Every structure is written in structure tokens, then in C-alpha cells.
């Protein structure tokens, strides 16, 4: 019998030409308990189902939509799912989370995960419900934005279906294409390209069953309590101004990456600030499915229409590219949504190209920092994979730097191939470690170590032992939240996170779980991610930052200089390896693998 909240099975969907077949894949309860669901379970599935060293865009490369025990419960922010695959951008494990009704409908097909392999002969949609699996040709959806593809699919198949779709960039296998649904995106690592390589424009799911929890009354009481706490001061910033509130705050403390990380303050920041836009452009606030926080802020666009804006897309398409006109940044963000592009990787790759043009390494004189029209032109070239610049930038900054050469890799803003988010590592040195060692690459959602830097508990300009502990702590907490799955914006609501999370899981599943078991699960998930990457060829040399961060001190507006040396970073990484139980080369001990992966 499956534990509460689970079906104890995945669905393996094999697409072969014009047809698709579904096969149940039983999930042992000890796997569910060890990996929790979401990203954790997805990591375990990749170990089992992804052929070693598989090309991420090959038909046999699996892509998994993974749910958790909390999906479908009344617990706030629990309507989330993970998409897990080998990344075409990094060549390593990637996962992305998103919130929408797709999560609930996908789980209520009767599965804890849906894994897709193979390739369709022509552009198609994949439909999955309790009755089975079928593949339907959909050439009429070619070239459409994901939102339009969703609308047409709903009109064709009925309103009961929930849709996750790719845009033109995914069809053309741009290596940082997204998967979108209800206006939200599983954004990082190129998961849209993986689906596009399978010639699948959209996956449609429809609820067809129910799932029970172990303690219905206990879950309802916990949901009521959590909802009440979610309205407290820990989430006030997100409700009032959204994540864009970070922009002016980061600018004030010299940690807002500007013009491809050549500066950490941006003179145009006030024009893009949430405070200014909320006053002049704010039109609405919205929530994800089953969420009581409501962090989504909608702003009016020049010429009509509206756009959802977050800190990361404004940073990447604004300060990072030197663009200060909000209309240009809004338009660029909308273009990324239409094309299905990860805004962070798009902005980072274009900013790198702008610097290459300045240095005379790329002959595209129109592509200049601060030029919003040039930014839009570059995005269109990427989405089209147009010959020359578009094809080059569609590869991401690491691969593009490998083509351009002339030392351009030194200032490509990436780790392991994934472009850096909006945090300056030289002035946030706990975060510097978190970015360097993370399995997904440069990532602020799988390592929130910047919290320690900005708290004042550590000296953010001088990394050391306290920074290592902070990075490990945030990585472990993220591993659990991404596997349960709960929104990170709830993290400040929990006073004793592992104890409270263990109680929630116990109420849903019926397990007698405590904080110690949950901490071990977090560590297991982090180690399993690393083990997958090692299997795929990663080494300790990949745990680093761009050379610019380690050789060029950062001059701050205060007159202070922020310096992060290679020796300091390597010392923190060595300490991180010891604390994680890795060997001196950053490897998971081989004899640990059978227990880690629950193999016989």
C-alpha cells in the first residue's frame, strides 16, 4: 500500500514515431521516503533511467515531470512540480520548479512522476490521463508562443486538460529554452530544448483519480496554521513589492551585477526599481495556484498590455546589459516569454556578447551596452537561431566563448555552463561558494547562501569557515523544499524548519519522520546530484567561478575594494568537500553509492 500523498509509481512514456506507450514503473516506499519527491525523486530517476553520458538532446535522454506528496493538499504553495533532465546547456543534471494547476492535474493522472523518452516523427502533443497515453500530431502549433499553444490545445482537446508547452526557442533547441504553463516557466537549464528535441510541443494532463493523506484532520489544521503564518512579516516584502524590491537594496550594498559584472552598482537602477514602478505602472497582484502569498506583480506596458516582472528578469535584461529604460526591459522580458527563453541565461549571454563587441571579438557594432533596441534584436536572433550571431548566442555564453576564443571565457558569466543570477560573488562570498559548488551551476535557488551574507552574521567580503557552514545549510534546506515541494518564499515562516517540515510530511504520508531523518534526506539528495554529475564527466575543476571574479577586484561605490582570490575560494571548496564527505577531488565515495542510490 502506498504511503499517504503518493501513488508509489511513475509512468514511463516512450514516444516512437507516430505513437506513444505508457508503462508503469513501481516506486519502492523506501525510495519515496529517502528522496521525498520533486527534485529528490527526479534525481533518483535520472540515475536509474538516463543512459550514462547520454546526449541531452538524444531521443533516449529522459525528461521527468515529478510531483510530491504535498501536491493536491490544502498546504499553501504546494501546487508545484519539478522538471528534471540532463541539461543541454551544462551537460549535467538540471531541475526547474514551477507552480500551476498542471502540478495538481499531473499528479492526479495517478503518478508521482511522468518520464518521457523517444522522439515523435512530427511536431506533436502528448496527452496523459488516467485512461492512458496518446500522441497527437500538432503541426499547426509550430512557431507559436507557449501561451498561444496552450490556448489552441485547450480549444482542441477541452478545458479539462492542463498544458505545459514550449515556445519557438524550444522547437529550435536553443540551449536555454523553457517549458511554460499558465504564464509561468520551468526556466533554467534548457528543459524546453529537451522537449523540443523529442518533437513534442506540449504535454497535456488531466485529473482522473484522487490521492489520500494519512491524517486528513491534521493536514487541514496544519494548512490553516501555515496559511495564517504566510501572511506575516516574513513574506511582507513579496506581497507588497515582489522580488523586484531587491533591486534598489542590492544596488545600495554594491551587489547588483552591471554591464557583464564589470560593476556592482547601476546608475539607472532607480528607473527600474519596484518602488518607482509600483507607483507609476503597477496594475495588479496575482498568486500561483494554491498560494496565499501573492508575490506576482503585474505592470502596465507602453502601448498597452501588461507584464509580470521579477528581480531576476529585470537584473538580467536591465543592469547586466546596461539598459535602464523600463519599457525596453519590459519588452525584452515579454519577448523572452514569447520565445520561451530563460531570461537569466539570455541576458547573461547577450551581456557577454556586448563586451565581446566592445573588445573587438565579435563584429556586430550595433550590439552595445545600454541599447534596448539592440537587446530586442539579439533576443529575436537567438529565438530564430539566425545564422551568425543568433546561432552563436543560442549555445549559451560558455559554448559561445569556446567558439569566439581570445580569452572570452574569462568573462563569460557562467558556472558549469549556467549563467550567473543577480548576485555579485566578490561582495557576497558565502554566495560565491554556493554558486561554485552547486550541482545545477550558477544558481540562487538551490543555494541561498546570500542570506548569510546579507544578514550581517558573516563578513561578506572575507569568505571562511562560517561561509562554508552557511552555504551547506542553505543547500540542505533548498534540497528539502525542492523535494517536498514548498515555495522558497515560505522559508522565513518556519522557526524550526526541519522539525516543522518533518511534521508536515508525517501528517501527509503517515511516516514517523523527525528532523534528523529529514536532514539525512537533504544530504542524500545533494550527494546524489553530485554523483550523477560525476558519472557524466564533471570534476572538481568545474567547481569554480569565472576568472574575472577571481582576478579582478571590484571597486565599490563606497571606495572599498571587494576581492575574492582563487586561493580563498579553493580553501572554502576544500572545506565544503570535507563537510560533505567527499574526497579531496570532490568525489562521492564509491563505496557509498549502493546505499546512496538504494541499490541492491
Digit-coded pLDDT (tens) for 42-101: 999 999 999 999 999 999 999 999 999 999 999 888 889 999 999 999 999 999 999 889
Q: What is the pLDDT of residue 310?
A: 87
Check whether 169 has a pLDDT greater than 80: yes
Check whether 411 has a pLDDT greater than 90: yes
Q: Which residue has the higher pLDDT, 273 or 433?
A: 433
Closest CA to 268 of 226, 208, 329: 329
Q: For residue 516, give the 3-state DSSP assignment.
A: helix
Residue carrying C-alpha cell 510530491: 68
Check whether 364 has a pLDDT greater than 70: yes
Contact indicator for 243, 310 with CB cutoff of 8 Å: yes
Q: How far apart are CA 250 and CA 265, in angstroms?
A: 8
- At residue 553's C-alpha, the angle toward residues 547 and 555, to 5°, is 140
b/e map 553-588, b = 16+ CB within 10 Å: ebebeeeeebbbeeebbebbbebbbeebebeeebeb
Give the pLDDT mean for 119-143. Answer: 97
Q: What share of the chain is helix, strand, coil (3-state, %, to 5)?
A: 45, 15, 40
Contact indicator for 69, 509 with CB cutoff of 8 Å: yes
CA dihedral 317, 319, 322, 325 (to 10 degrees): 70
Q: How far apart are CA 245 and CA 311, in angstroms?
A: 7
Name the pLDDT band for 287 (thresholds 50, 70, 90). Answer: low
Q: For residue 534, give the 3-state DSSP assignment.
A: helix
Closest CA to 163 of 131, 190, 129: 129
Distances, alpha carbon 201 to alpha carbons 4, 20, 195, 196, 247, in Å? 33, 14, 7, 7, 35
Name the pLDDT band for 600 (thresholds 50, 70, 90). Answer: very low
Chain length of the chain:
600
Closest CA to 69 of 61, 79, 59: 79
Q: What is the pLDDT of residue 235?
A: 67
Give the pLDDT mean for 317-338. Answer: 96
pTM: 0.96
Check whether 222 has a pLDDT greater than 50: yes
Mean residue pLDDT across the chain: 93
Q: How far apart are CA 528 and CA 550, in angstroms?
A: 29
Check whether 184 has a pLDDT greater than 90: no
Q: What is the pLDDT of residue 591?
A: 75
Q: How far apart are CA 339 and CA 533, in angstroms?
A: 29
Give the pLDDT mean for 542-550. Answer: 98
Closest CA to 513 of 33, 30, 2, 78: 33
**Pairing outcome for strands 418-419 and 414-415:** antiparallel
Render pLDDT for 484-528 as a digit per residue (tens, 0 to 9): 998 877 888 899 999 999 999 999 999 999 999 999 999 999 999
Determine if the peptide bond prior to 138 is cis (ω within 30°).
no
Closest CA to 261 of 570, 553, 461, 542: 553
Amino acid at each position: 500500500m502506498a504511503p499517504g500523498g503518493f501513488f508509489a509509481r511513475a509512468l514511463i512514456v516512450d514516444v516512437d514515431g507516430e505513437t506513444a506507450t505508457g508503462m508503469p514503473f513501481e516506486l519502492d516506499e523506501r525510495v519515496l521516503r529517502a528522496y521525498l519527491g520533486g527534485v529528490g525523486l527526479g534525481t533518483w530517476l535520472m540515475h536509474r533511467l538516463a543512459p550514462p553520458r547520454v546526449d541531452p538532446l538524444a531521443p533516449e535522454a529522459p525528461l521527468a515531470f515529478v510531483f510530491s506528496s504535498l501536491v493536491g493538499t490544502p498546504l499553501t504553495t504546494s501546487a508545484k512540480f519539478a522538471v528534471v533532465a540532463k541539461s543541454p546547456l551544462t551537460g549535467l543534471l538540471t531541475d526547474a520548479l514551477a507552480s500551476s494547476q498542471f502540478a495538481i492535474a499531473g499528479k492526479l493522472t495517478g503518478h508521482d512522476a511522468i518520464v518521457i523518452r523517444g522522439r515523435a516523427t512530427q511536431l506533436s502533443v502528448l496527452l496523459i490521463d488516467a485512461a492512458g497515453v496518446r500522441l497527437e500530431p500538432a503541426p499547426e502549433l509550430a512557431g507559436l508562443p507557449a501561451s498561444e499553444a496552450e490556448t489552441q490545445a485547450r480549444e482542441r482537446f477541452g478545458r479539462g486538460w492542463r498544458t505545459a508547452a514550449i515556445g519557438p526557442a524550444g522547437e529550435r533547441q536553443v540551449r536555454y529554452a523553457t517549458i511554460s504553463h499558465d504564464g509561468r516557466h520551468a526556466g533554467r537549464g534548457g528543459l524546453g530544448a529537451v522537449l523540443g528535441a523529442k518533437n513534442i510541443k506540449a504535454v497535456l494532463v488531466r485529473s482522473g483519480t484522487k490521492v489520500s493523506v494519512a491524517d486528513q484532520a491534521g493536514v487541514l489544521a496544519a494548512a490553516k496554521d501555515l496559511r495564517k503564518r504566510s501572511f506575516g512579516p516574513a513574506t511582507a516584502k513579496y506581497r507588497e513589492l515582489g522580488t523586484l524590491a531587491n533591486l534598489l537594496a542590492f544596488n545600495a550594498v554594491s551587489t547588483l551585477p552591471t554591464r557583464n559584472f564589470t560593476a556592482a552598482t547601476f546608475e539607472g537602477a532607480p528607473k527600474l526599481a519596484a518602488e518607482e514602478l509600483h507607483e507609476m505602472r503597477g496594475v495588479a497582484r496575482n498568486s500561483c495556484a494554491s498560494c496565499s502569498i501573492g508575490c506576482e506583480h503585474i505592470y502596465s506596458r507602453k502601448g498597452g498590455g501588461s507584464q509580470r516582472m521579477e528581480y531576476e528578469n529585470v537584473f538580467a535584461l536591465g543592469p547586466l546589459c546596461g539598459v535602464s529604460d523600463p519599457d525596453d526591459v519590459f519588452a525584452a522580458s515579454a519577448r523572452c516569454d514569447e520565445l520561451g527563453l530563460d531570461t537569466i541565461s539570455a541576458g547573461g549571454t547577450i551581456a557577454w556578447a556586448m563586451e565581446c563587441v566592445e573588445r573587438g571579438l565579435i563584429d556586430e557594432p550595433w550590439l552595445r551596452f545600454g541599447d534596448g533596441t539592440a537587446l530586442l534584436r539579439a533576443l529575436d536572433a537567438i529565438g530564430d537561431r539566425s545564422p551568425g550571431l543568433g546561432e552563436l548566442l543560442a549555445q549559451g555564453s560558455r559554448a559561445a566563448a569556446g567558439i569566439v576564443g581570445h580569452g572570452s571565457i574569462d568573462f563569460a558569466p557562467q558556472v558549469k555552463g549556467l549563467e550567473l543570477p543577480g548576485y555579485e560573488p566578490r561582495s557576497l562570498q558565502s554566495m560565491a561558494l554556493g554558486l561554485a559548488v552547486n550541482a545545477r551551476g550558477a544558481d540562487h535557488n538551490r543555494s541561498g547562501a546570500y542570506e548569510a551574507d546579507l544578514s550581517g552574521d558573516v563578513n561578506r567580503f572575507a569568505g571562511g569557515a562560517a561561509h562554508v557552514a552557511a552555504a551547506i545549510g542553505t543547500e540542505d534546506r533548498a534540497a528539502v523544499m525542492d523535494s517536498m515541494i514548498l515555495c522558497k518564499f515560505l522559508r522565513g515562516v518556519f522557526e524550526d524548519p526541519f522539525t516543522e517540515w518533518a511534521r508536515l510530511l508525517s501528517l501527509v504520508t503517515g511516516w514517523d519522520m523527525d528532523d534528523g531523518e529529514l536532514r539525512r534526506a537533504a544530504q542524500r539528495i545533494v550527494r546524489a546530484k553530485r554523483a550523477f554529475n560525476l558519472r557524466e564527466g564533471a570534476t572538481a575543476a568545474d567547481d569554480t567561478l569565472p576568472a574575472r571574479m577571481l582576478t579582478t577586484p571590484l571597486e565599490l561605490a563606497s571606495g572599498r575594494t571587494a576581492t575574492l582570490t582563487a586561493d580563498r575560494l579553493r580553501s572554502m571548496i576544500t572545506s565544503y568537500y570535507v563537510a560533505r564527505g567527499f574526497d579531496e577531488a570532490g568525489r562521492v565515495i564509491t563505496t557509498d553509492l549502493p546505499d546512496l542510490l538504494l541499490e541492491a
